[in-house]
Structure 1
Amino acid sequence: MKNIYDFLKNLKNEKRVKECQLLIVNDDRQAQIASDIVAYLGFKSFVLSDFRANFGDDLLSFSTELQDITKVLNSYYNYKKQDKILISPIRTISYALPKEKCFDSFTINFADTIKIDEFKSKLYNWGYYFVDIVTSEGEVSIRGDIIDICPLGSDLGFRVSLFDDEVESIRKFDIEDQKSLKEEIETFSINPAFLALDEESMGAINEQIETVSSDAFIKDIHSLGFWYLNDLGEYLPNNLSSFITQEALDEIEEVYVFEEKRINKDKFLLTPQIYNSKTYQEIAPANVKEFISFHKEKKITIISGTEAKVKAYDLDLNDKNIKYVFDNYILNLLGNDEVIISLNKEVKKRRKKKVKLVLDELQLNDYVVHEKHGIGQYKGIEPVTVMGAKRDFVIVMYAGDDKLLIPVENIDLIDRYVADGSSYAVVDKLGKGSFAKLKEKVKDRLFAIANDIIKLAAARELVNGIKINTEKKLLEDFPKSAGFDYTKDQKRSIKEIFADLSSGRVMDRLLSGDVGFGKTEVAMNAMLAVVLDGFQALFICPTTLLASQHFHGIQKRFSEFGIKVAKLDGKTSAKEKTSIKKALENGDIQIVIGTHSLLSVKTKDLALVIIDEEHKFGVKQKEKLKQLREDVHIFSMSATPIPRTLNLALSKLKGMSSLLTPPTERLGVRTYVKEFSDKLIKEVVLREKRRGGQLFYVHNNIASIEAKKADIEQIVPGIKIQIIHSQIKPELAEKIIEDFEEKEFDILLATSIVESGLHLPNANSIIIDGADRFGIADLHQLRGRVGRSNKEGFCYYVVEDKKQITDDAVKRLVALESNSYLGSGTALAHQDLEIRGGGNIIGEAQSGHIKQIGYGLYLKMLEDALASLSGDEKAQKKTVDIKLAISAYISDDYIHEDRVRLELYRRLSKASDIQEVYKIEEEMEDRFGKPDIFTKQFIELIIIKILALDKGIQTISSYEMAITFTKADDTKETIKSPSKDDDDIIATTLRYLRK
């Protein structure tokens, strides 16, 4: 930092700015520091991403960096002043980058004429993805006379409405919920999503891509185009005066180890190196005010984002000896005649927004659960003509080829069938009544579970809790020693726990959050509060491995406070056990971390019990837990998200907190989809070994897992492998995992048993064999095993033969690879996990019941049982059978994409009041234009359904002009429509229901 500052300052003073147009640094972090220096000195900085791909890699998993490079180069070339400096990490600049002629932009203005075919062709050549719904930069969706597009660098999309081929209106829209903003705008600009290529250039690149041998799953411009720019690319150091930092020079060897196709490294060595500054040194003053007082005679500059921050450091804004710069630069230097101090903290990278709109991913042949008829197979939506009127029906197949037709307005009666990963759905038989009996059986069991939960909660309500003082200064300072900034969720959860602990009532709180999201850090705040007040805490884990992981982490954090922490588990010797138990009883030890052996210890002043992964404890252990629960505070933690509705049901009985945001220093997991080859496996294993890491290899078949081990040993001779799966004894499995953590071997070859609960920061590559046979949620979960430290994780979804797998599997895998498949990959995974998480919270091994009726229905029934026993019983769900001779459906002329129609059918069928329907209609008009007559009639059909339910009507049918309404008590009323036209029948029905 000091070298760059000194060098550029001298250049500026001597007016030799042109002598540095390119600054070459080591990585992203150094690039950010350099950018702050360049901007502070008054130059215009343009920072390229650290592009760490190897030549020929499939670039789908580098799409973020590529988009970033496109954006930055576009801005750089369009900035026409002389005072600009391009800053690049060494790996990025060592490849040929696109020339200036590859960048362009065009505007769309109100009243412009757009020729759709030309427009589509241009956007395709410019690298835009054509999608159903635009949810991220570089995507476009063209639906009849509506164009949605999100250009690179824009947080919002732009929605263009056409009248014939003329632009009638332009509005921005939120890509999270797809709703457009009210104000119309006059114009907006579109830049390339990859490069501004013409037909010829695009053809030349595609032609070359076709001829190369690559293991890219899909060979196209997005995955390989960057490598074959040919005369469209150039090596920038050839024509720019450039300087390189010492760290970047040191990195050169590493960059070139496995590479050809990069610029000759001697070119960098010829680049004048930035000299070592004798004038400046880097500083990190602990007390800014005091530091300044020692250097009064120098020129002092304070950089701060806000005036409030200056006041917080007790500095005088009116002090004439200090120059204040209000900006976000981070620069801390002490020179012979000047001091620069920044009060700003490092700004973390912005995370991608999560899409709120989850598309319905119900696939053909997926299993579904009908509330009355049980498990069947979804066979799509088909139009059926009944009495001359056309309607859409959901087709569900049952045993014996029986077919159930469900009107789309009642699609809310079915849900995707989700059970645990090893469960296979058994299709029910229609009309046998056996599913109703099964539901009754499950209902009785669930009432017993719900009863237990409520009794426990009620008993604890009557007990006075231990009141803990949570206002101590030390508790305020504790988060600062974590070495990272807490997320908003962590801060909120700690606040909620402290409120419970200091309330005088017994705490019973559940914290849910993914592994690595900082649950233990939250728990440590509670432990510290209790210990500082003179009490003790127990931390109970399901396995010795987890106990050991937690013990090391907690002991390290509490060592500076003089708090005694011990570990008690199956591996503790008998002598140690006796000593720890005695010390716990005497009060000599404040915190003990261990497994279920802690359930029977005696303590002196126990105030808090923390239970990690509570659902992993068996029934007998639960009974012991209940005895512990009488008067101490209970804090449970779970790694699966809890469904929102169950959260509401349970929150009346226990406190609920959740961590949904990952820690800021966590890097994403670089994901690849590949066809199996010995070369690939060897490359992946050796690359991870080179950086001192270990690997997971997931092979989900116990019968052939030994053969797979032999295969890998043959591909990579000398590699150490251990196998783990569900048939291995728990003690041995624990020993294997411990050895893996101790780096005794290189590869853990496992079934999908490794999907959750493990935190092994040194294992940062995972290979998933037969990835096409896993669900999207499982793949997402497995990918989460790696990238848990500050090292980048690598995930390889491997398939045997890409020609043999379904289009749907290809879509899902590529979706996960590029992390952007309309935002539905992670959203769907989260949906599945939520449902499974709900099953876990109950803490019972209810897998039998769940397998028979699916998680979704199981949870619905549990919520109903909890609500019923809490005196908050919801009215039994009623349905209405509508047999009106009208054509009512969302037409595929209006919305072409089946999955988008399915999602709207589901949302409309679930709508419980008319205002909600009108809101969805408004959104549909905004996104797809004015509804056609059949779509309008379907929306009116939904309104008829809601009004009929309110009036307790069970059936509405029509024949010719007669419309008959049947109530629950079987009384009927028939009225007459002026004609048998659809609009008259609808209007007459609505009039009757509204009177």
Structure 2
Amino acid sequence: MNERLSTKTLREEISRSLERERGAAWRLQGLHGGATDFVLGALAATWRRPALIIVDRPERAERLAEGIRTVLGEEFEAAFLARRVHVLPEREAPPLEMISPPAEVVAGRTAALYQAARGDRPIIVAAAVALAERTPAPEAVLPSCRYLVVGDELDRDAFAGELERLGYRRVGVVEEPGEAAVRGGIVDLWSPGSAHPYRIELFGDTIESLRTFDAGEQRSIESIEDVVVLPACPFALERLADAEVRRAVQARCNELLVAASERRRLDADMSAGLHFPGAELLLPYCAPVASLADYLPGDTVTIVVDPPAVEARLDAWARELDQAREAADQSGLFYPPVERLFLGAAELRAMLARTPLIEVDELETIEAAEQDRRRARIEVRGNEALRAARMQARRSRRADRLGPLAEQLNTLASEGRLAIVVADQTQRARVEHLLELCGLGPRRRARGLLELLEADSGAVFMTTGVLESGFRLPADAVAVVTDEDLFGRERRPVRRRRVSRARALTALAEASPGDYMVHVDHGIGRYHGLKHMVVGETEGDFIHLEYAGGDRYYLPIDRINLVEKYTGAGGTPPPLSRLGSAAWERTKKKAKESVLKLASELLDLEAYRAVHTRAPLASAGPDFEDFEAQFPFEETEGQKEAIAQVIADLSGEKPMDRVVCGDVGYGKTEVALRAAYLTVMGGRQVAFLVPTTVLARQHLDTIRARFADYPVEVAMLSRFNTRAENQAIVERLAAGTIDIVVGTHRLLQRDVRFARLGLLVVDEEHRFGVRHKERIKRMRREVDVLTMTATPIPRTLQLALAGVRDLSLIETPPVDRLAIRTYVARYDEALIKQAIERELARKGQVFFVHHRVASIGAVAHRVSELVPKARVAIAHGQMKEDELDHVMAEFLAGERDVLVCTSIIESGLDIPNANTIIVNRADTFGLAQLYQIRGRVGRSSRRAYAYLLVPNQERISEDARRRLAVLQELDDLGSGFRLAAHDMEIRGAGNLLGKEQSGHVAAVGFDLFMRMMEEASEELRGRPPAPVIEPEIDLGAEAFLPESYVDDVGERLMCYKRMASADSREALDAIVDELTDRFGPPPRPVRDLVRVMALRPGLKRLAVESLKAGGKAVALRFHESSPIEPEALVELARSGDGRYRLRPGGVLTMTLAGAGWDERVGEVEELIERLSTLIGERDRQGDGDERVHVG
């Protein structure tokens, strides 16, 4: 068959041949790009059988799988059991090294194997090498998979033990696949292959409910009826400790002449029966091995895309395997027999010969007829004319500039059926608007592209998904357009993964015994944890603080708002305060005086900016929408909010002073580019101020790429330029012929003058010196300022929150962003070699950070010796400008594999292909610096690795050890906020607030200092702050969070803090709902705690300092600022039939009638409600007196 076929005809022909011939073989020619996704998806949808699709590389496998999902209308986050399309990933580790593949790779392989065997007509997409990697045999995997249904019997403890044997890591909070947590009657786990973790709620030994939950917020998403729990490890870990397995491994060590020390280490690791790095390599000893073919049914159809590329990849892989075997033999390292780890070429061919085979060639080759293949040609055309029309429309400023684009779209629609594929809902809205402007008729929403084949001529569809490219199939009268065709850049969808802000900002929850805390009334004490006590008739948790002289203080947990974790002047521990002494009040008074001075300076700047207005910029219109649509990713919720805030600032008359704060790579630059577009189109200039020349070059490239289609002049002022070039740029800035300039502190020099500067964007302000910050401060008075920072100067963060500067938080991670795996290890050349080879094995690049220029050449030479195939380059700040520029350009282009460099890479560099970073002498770097350096990797969908190398532990300081421990803990996403707090604590506040203020910060702690700052700001604005009342409540209750209910102390502290901060019953109910969801139904002490906490908002509003029950009465002591007049209390006492009494000192007592605790609390609730009406009566009287409301 040689004619060009339609997809419908091809589908029918192939289906018929599959029914008739067991070994049917086809060759499809001419397919490429998105057309391959479409045709293969259409074929697989027809068959009542599984399909195995083989491609050359992992990236191609991922893209093809996404495309087929778009064709079938399968959502990425569909329930695991409902999905048909799965990717079998490669191990992503050097083939014979004792290095574990990333957890998500193990999870992906297990999920694909399960679906291959048990799924409904699965479509498995695999790169060639992934197919060659052996798997555990079906009989070893499938019996370990647990199918759970609501109503099943399940023994919690036995199940928890089973999860550990299946390789699940026991954690407090489940945040990644392969983790499990057990809390009372709740079991949380994240099974491989599932888009979300599962929450199993038990009633006794019965599964009462199954739910998916959000890993960031830890809240349930939806109830489900059944789940499949897959193993998190390819074999049962207990097999490692089996005597027979250990003997077999030792015999292999003898065969390979492995050193005795290495043998002992390996045997010790195995004897524990737990996971250790590289344990997966022992699969052949712990389980029978097989291949993917052993899981797939016999009627599976195999499709090979681009067979020459697949063959070439397998040939290259065979050579890599031979080299790895040679290297391992030379080094005397252990590895299992290669044939038990990987399939040979003959086995792979035999596997393919067992099933019907379809080969897909991009090219239409003219060759002799093949007896064993039927050939079909498919005509595929591109959307070049549409793209040309788009460019014409963008460059035109005529009113009818959309004419050519509209004409092309209408032509495509009139020729048959048109589908437009958009990446997300935001882009859908833009495309809808564009189609309306083009006059294109009504659009139908398609679930998948397959609907095109059955639609009437002239139909126009829109669907959400990802496709490699747009295409036209003339034989089907089908045209598919992507948003890349319409807007010029491919757009990638965001996989939602939120980081809970409550978790990220609660420093108190991270307090450890031995840390310092500040009590607002008693001063600085040493924290000794939570202590459970019975005091009088009250049982509960108390915060145990130690003060000077060994005095102990126990703070009831409902008054937790009176304490904050101490963060101050770093290195030196603060002196403990003495209980009952007046010294603490004197300390606070001095700090208050200092704070008033600082607040006055800041308010002067704010006042100046408030009265010095500028003409507002035009609001965003269709041109701005076009600029937005070119952004290649879906905006995250944080980005959308930040962009809206920036647009609102620029549309007002008051100059903008906004801090955009978000982790490295979270999309802050795009927010700045939107602001720059509006500023430039409004006739003003924009300056991007960055801390390093290398970063300036990257910003320049980003800005030029984003503004390539617009009449915008962009230049860079830096030491990379010649003197003459810089002089010319300075002159053009003054003349106004440059619209956007990027530069380092060179921009701040006195010879730089702007014709009409409108916007200053400052990237990583904390990297500039004091003199440069002063210059920035002066510029703030005159222009719009947007500051971008990942690790904010803590003062900047706090003052922004206090309202002096506006703050935009971007907390949502970008596309498929995974946390960076961070390892702290002693300097070990074997580890360095393994880490580099592991990254090169997945075609990535490596940063090796060495901070000493004098020895950087020797380090680079040693790296070259360790990994001879690596192309190594050197970069540091003392190199000649053009040489450094050349090296960085080579690394960006992928022409170098390893960059041995100083911390010149610290700020903002974006090289998505670099996903391993090794930091030598990490103990000599500051925490913010380490966090920034580590942020150079992990900027793509691949797992990133950071190795922080240190000397032997005894050679590094306690300060450095704390820094590294903090960084290793903060490998989750969105941890920059917590880092800022830790950075203050460790490095001190001296260089952050200036010398004059740092002493006061040390004396009272940063949080109290900032609270004073906020109060001082209000006071200077003529709004004296109301006293902060934290009522003391003693109702003789057992009110607490039992350890058996919430076992983690940090989680309990965080819950207590959130409850105490709740300002309404609704807020408290939301916390209770979350507790119920995460930990199960609250026991009696928790329900009583909630009732006690629910009294607090009303008591604070009434300014009640204490509420105490004793005998058959309850007493309320009012603060002098109470909004209730004494006369109203007197009147209440007279009218209460003797039940109410007013005692000296503003104390109201009420006799309690109820016998039980519940009834008594009910009476107190009624009293608070009644007292609240007295505030209302006073308000209605309108006596004109100034009132202070506390709350």
Q: Identify the TM-score tier after normalising by the shorter chain.
A: 0.7 to 0.9
Q: Distance in 2 between matches of 1:866 and 1:503?
A: 23
Change (3 A) 1:184 1:584: closer
Q: Distance in 2 between matches of 1:28 and 1:88?
A: 7
Q: Distance in 2 between matches of 1:572 and 1:602?
A: 18
Does 2:289 match 1:233?
A: yes
Of 859-868 and 943-952, more deviation after overlay is shown by: 943-952
Corresponding residue for residue 493 of structure 2: 348
Change (3 A) 1:110 1:812: farther
- The one-letter amino acid of 1:593's match is V
Corresponding residue for residue 156 of structure 2: 116
- CA drift at 1:87: 1.8
Corresponding residue for residue 612 of structure 2: 463
Change (3 A) 1:168 1:866: same
Q: 1:89 aligns with which of 124, 127, 132?
A: 127
Q: 1:27 aligns with which of 57, 64, 67?
A: 57
- CA drift at 1:93: 1.6
Q: Distance in 1 between matches of 2:24 and 2:133?
A: 22
Corresponding residue for residue 697 of structure 1: 849
Does 2:433 match 1:285?
A: no
Q: Distance in 1 between matches of 2:86 and 2:676?
A: 47
SS in 2 for 1:343: strand
TM-score, normalising length: structure 1: 0.80
Q: Is contact 1:61–1:670 with CA below 8 Å preserved after alignment?
A: no
Q: Is contact 2:820–2:943 with CA below 8 Å preserved after alignment?
A: yes
Corresponding residue for residue 832 of structure 1: 979
Change (3 A) 1:201 1:438: same
Change (3 A) 1:675 1:91: farther
Corresponding residue for residue 947 of structure 2: 796
Does 2:111 match 1:71?
A: yes
Q: Distance in 2 between matches of 1:783 and 1:626?
A: 30
Q: 2:309 aligns with which of 243, 247, 257?
A: 247
Q: Is contact 2:638–2:812 with CA below 8 Å preserved after alignment?
A: yes
Change (3 A) 1:75 1:835: same
- Structure 1's unaligned 5+ residue stretches are 725-729
Of 189-198 and 892-901, more deviation after overlay is shown by: 189-198
- CA drift at 1:662: 4.7
Q: Distance in 2 between matches of 1:905 and 1:341?
A: 59
SS in 2 for 1:368: strand
- CA drift at 1:679: 0.8
Of 644-653 and 524-533, more deviation after overlay is shown by: 644-653
Change (3 A) 1:934 1:517: closer
Q: Distance in 2 between matches of 1:844 and 1:734?
A: 34
Q: Is contact 1:812–1:825 with CA below 8 Å preserved after alignment?
A: no
Provide Cα deviations, 1:353-377, integer angstroms capped at 9, x if missing partner: 4346628232233333333444443
Of 853-862 and 766-775, more deviation after overlay is shown by: 766-775
Provide Cα deviations, 1:714-772, integer angstroms capped at 9, x if missing partner: 67659989898xxxxx9899999879746799665768x97655557786432246889
SS in 2 for 1:87: strand
- CA drift at 1:77: 1.3
Q: Distance in 1 between matches of 2:567 and 2:572?
A: 10
Corresponding residue for residue 899 of structure 1: 1050
Q: Distance in 2 between matches of 1:671 and 1:117?
A: 32
Q: Is contact 1:158–1:172 with CA below 8 Å preserved after alignment?
A: yes
1:667-746 alignment, distance < 5 Å: 669=820, 671=822, 676-685=827-836, 693-697=845-849, 717=865, 741=888
Give the length in aligned residue pairs: 972
Q: Distance in 1 between matches of 2:690 and 2:887?
A: 19
- CA drift at 1:88: 0.5
Q: Is contact 1:698–1:766 with CA below 8 Å preserved after alignment?
A: no
Q: Distance in 1 between matches of 2:943 and 2:223?
A: 43
Does 2:99 match 1:99?
A: no
Q: Is contact 1:880–1:949 with CA below 8 Å preserved after alignment?
A: yes
- CA drift at 1:500: 3.7
Provide Cα deviations, 1:880-927, integer angstroms capped at 9, x if missing partner: 445666554333244333333232222223333444444434544454
SS in 2 for 1:766: strand
- CA drift at 1:381: 1.2
Provide Cα deviations, 1:681-709, integer angstroms capped at 9, x if missing partner: 2333466689684524378xx9xx98999
Q: Is contact 2:639–2:810 with CA below 8 Å preserved after alignment?
A: yes
- CA drift at 1:465: 1.1
- The one-letter amino acid of 1:22's match is L
Q: Distance in 2 between matches of 1:607 and 1:470?
A: 15
Q: Distance in 2 between matches of 1:320 and 1:926?
A: 48
1:823-902 alignment, distance < 5 Å: 825-826=972-973, 829-833=976-980, 844-845=993-994, 849-871=1000-1022, 873-882=1024-1033, 887-902=1038-1053
SS in 2 for 1:103: helix
Change (3 A) 1:216 1:675: farther
Corresponding residue for residue 640 of structure 1: 791
Corresponding residue for residue 727 of structure 1: none
Q: 2:937 aligns with which of 782, 786, 809?
A: 786
Provide Cα deviations, 1:472-495, integer angstroms capped at 9, x if missing partner: 765444445566665565555445
Q: 2:513 aligns with which of 364, 377, 388?
A: 364
Of 8-17 and 392-401, more deviation after overlay is shown by: 8-17
Q: Distance in 2 between matches of 1:200 and 1:687?
A: 27
- CA drift at 1:27: 3.2
Bigger CA radius of gyration: 2
Corresponding residue for residue 1177 of structure 2: none
Q: Distance in 2 between matches of 1:801 and 1:71?
A: 41
Q: 1:428 aligns with which of 576, 585, 588?
A: 576
Q: Distance in 2 between matches of 1:247 and 1:158?
A: 40
SS in 1 for 2:382: coil
Change (3 A) 1:226 1:449: same
Q: Is contact 1:682–1:716 with CA below 8 Å preserved after alignment?
A: no
Q: Is contact 2:494–2:636 with CA below 8 Å preserved after alignment?
A: no
Provide Cα deviations, 1:645-702, integer angstroms capped at 9, x if missing partner: 9689658555544444455386764555656532112333466689684524378xx9
Of 445-454 and 280-289, more deviation after overlay is shown by: 280-289
TM-score, normalising length: structure 2: 0.68
Q: Distance in 2 between matches of 1:943 and 1:534?
A: 55
1:806-825 alignment, distance < 5 Å: 825=972
- Structure 2's unaligned 5+ residue stretches are 26-50, 74-82, 251-262, 325-337, 354-358, 365-376, 387-405, 445-454, 484-490, 1121-1144, 1171-1191
Change (3 A) 1:598 1:349: closer
- CA drift at 1:941: 4.0
Provide Cα deviations, 1:347-404, integer angstroms capped at 9, x if missing partner: 5362434346628232233333333444443221122344475442222334554433
- The one-letter amino acid of 1:582's match is E
Change (3 A) 1:552 1:829: closer
What percent of counterpart residues are identical? 25
Q: Is contact 1:451–1:869 with CA below 8 Å preserved after alignment?
A: yes
SS in 1 for 2:510: coil
Change (3 A) 1:471 1:965: closer
Q: Distance in 1 between matches of 2:890 and 2:421?
A: 45
Corresponding residue for residue 912 of structure 1: 1063
SS in 1 for 2:554: strand
Corresponding residue for residue 390 of structure 2: none
Of 282-291 and 978-987, more deviation after overlay is shown by: 978-987
Q: Distance in 2 between matches of 1:611 and 1:409?
A: 43
Provide Cα deviations, 1:925-948, integer angstroms capped at 9, x if missing partner: 454445444444444443455554
Corresponding residue for residue 220 of structure 1: 274
Change (3 A) 1:164 1:507: closer
- The one-letter amino acid of 1:88's match is A
Q: Is contact 1:283–1:332 with CA below 8 Å preserved after alignment?
A: no
Q: Distance in 1 between matches of 2:999 and 2:916?
A: 34
Q: Is contact 1:565–1:590 with CA below 8 Å preserved after alignment?
A: yes
Change (3 A) 1:206 1:482: farther
- The one-letter amino acid of 1:379's match is H
